[in-house]
Structure formats: structure tokens, C-alpha cells
Amino acid sequence: MYLFVINAKSGNGGARRVWDKIRTVLHKRNIPYEYTCTQSAEEAQAYLKERLTERTDWLAVGVVGGDGTIHSLLPAMHNSGVPLAVFPAGSGNDTARGFSIPRNTEAALDVMLKGRARSADLISISERNTLTALAVGFDAEVANNVNKSYYKKICNLLGMGRLAYIIGIFHTLISFRPAALTVSCDGEEHSFSSAWLAAVNNVTTYGGGLAICPEARTDDGLLDICIVHNCSRLKLLLLFPTVLFGKHTRLSFVTMLRGQEITVHSSLPRLALGDGEPVAFTPLTASALPGAMKVMTPSSGSRSLLGAES
């Protein structure tokens, strides 16, 4: 038996259209399932926790929504042993991208039904878990501004979720101030006099496809960190086109780190977003939780283990 959780609000109603396609295929193939359409993260989390407790033979939990929807269900999925199946229907869809889940709905359903359940790490911070990335600083403010914006809805309607984040970069660049930052990676301290952001990643991309940590793996028990520091606003702006293709890592004002535990201190309080959702403020400590859950991925090839974009 398969279980589906649909965020009815995700993607300006796009999740409902995705679910209609899934349900049509399930009926054609006579595949048994249960489902719920929820209106809030709290409602989805309570429902999933109850169903996973009441029944233990679920083959997979299909989540139809965006990264925030998946984030809200991590407490129930963590250590449940039931694989997560992702159906992208949000703005960023970096979870789907990180595990090579296709955008085509029927193809994503085939991953759920015929794919391979693989172990995946989680990022633990302040007793909350994150699956894709933890954004601290400028990138967090960009995502926060996008989530509150009118242009996000317009971009979603046009099927251009990534464009909303590009607009958000210019929006945030006007008011954001860099600050002194100290990052401790497995006990080794790194100090930056003027830092814009620190991105702690479990997958290669965030922000709708920005390849901020192109070498990140979802199953290596390590976190990849990108710190952007000591650069002007113009250099920061010119950085982002290179991030689309992961070509920024060799720039002099970009520092890449990797470790099991990361501590971030900032001279100014910085918002931290996990999977695009507010989770903490600095100072903060993030650690890797190896193999904390299972995710359904395409059965052929190894790119899903690398967190590569499909």
C-alpha cells in the first residue's frame, strides 16, 4: 500500500494538478493507495505521524509539494524506515533535483513504484532536521523575501520558479549588509572579516537550482559548506551566474569546506533557513545525521547518490 500527502497550496495549486495525474495512473494500473490533501504543514505532519504509527506495511510515502512540504514531514519520516517519494510541485524543487527525480509526473511515479530506496543523510540543527540545505545570511534573506513576495506566485503560475529567486537576489542586494563570520568545521576555525553567506548543503543545489555545493553527496555522512566573503556587491552579483553551473568554487572570495559538524557565529544576527523554512538564528551548530532516512531514487545509474540535477 502506498500513502500520499498532497499540499493543496503548493505551487499555487499546481500540486492538485500533479495529484490528479498521479491518481489517474494509479487507477489505470489498479495500484492500492491512501491519500490526504492538507492545508498546512502542521496538519500534514500530524496525519503522517498517525498513519505511520497505525500501519507499518507502507511501501513508500509520496509527497506532492515543494521543499517546504517535505521539510514539514521530516519528523515523521526520520528513522521510520518508510522511503520518501518526491513529486515536485513547488517553486525550488531542490529535493527532487538533489535526488534526480524527474519533473514529469508519470516518470516520478515510476521512481516511486520501480525505483530504488537509498539511505540519505539529514542536517540536524536546534533539534530540527533539514534534508537539502541550510542557508545562513544573504541566501536565507533572499529565500525569505521570495517566500513573502508577490512575484513568487506569478513565477509559479508561469512555471518559472527559479526566476523568483533571481528576482529575489536583486531585491535583497539593496539592503543586506555583510558581517564578520566565524565558521568552525569539525573543530577547525575559519574567520572571515566580511561574509555574505554560509550555505551548508546535503545536496548540490538550493534556491531553485543554484549549484552552490557541486560536490555534495546525500549519503556520505558529511556536510558541504560554501562561504562567500570579502567581496563587493558587484562581485556578489556577478557570482550568481557562475553558481548556476557550479563554477564559483575556485573564486578567491569563495571558500569551500566539508565536515560532520559545523558551527557558525556572526557579528550580526543571521537568519537560517532549512529547506527554505526558518529554523534558527546564529550562532548555530549543524551536524550530519548519516543514513537517517530513505528516499526513492531512479534505479539505474549512480547520479542520484551524487545529488546531481536531473
Q: Within a 13 Å sphere around the CA of 174, how many CA atoms are in the beta-carbon half? A: 5
Q: Is the domain covering 2-121+292-306 a CATH 3.40.50.10330 domain? A: yes
pLDDT of amino acid 236: 92
pLDDT of amino acid 12: 65
pLDDT of amino acid 240: 84
pLDDT, the chain, mean = 89
Query: Which part of the chain has CATH 3.40.50.10330?
Result: 2-121+292-306
pLDDT of amino acid 66: 86
pLDDT of amino acid 143: 83
pLDDT digits (tens, 9 = 90+) for 250-268: 999 999 999 999 999 999 9
pLDDT of amino acid 303: 40
CATH class for the domain made up of 130-290: mainly beta
Q: What is the pTM of this model?
A: 0.87
pLDDT of amino acid 306: 37
Query: Which part of the chain has CATH 2.60.200.40?
Result: 130-290
pLDDT of amino acid 148: 79
pLDDT of amino acid 169: 84
Q: Which residues of the chain have pLDDT under 50?
A: 301-310
pLDDT digits (tens, 9 = 90+) for 110-147: 999 999 999 999 999 988 999 999 999 998 998 888 87
The CA distance from 3 to 84, in Å, is 10
Residue in this structure with the C-alpha cell 509527497, named with its chain if needed = 63
pLDDT of amino acid 231: 96
- Does residue 283 have a cis peptide bond before it, meaning omega lies within 30 degrees of 0? yes
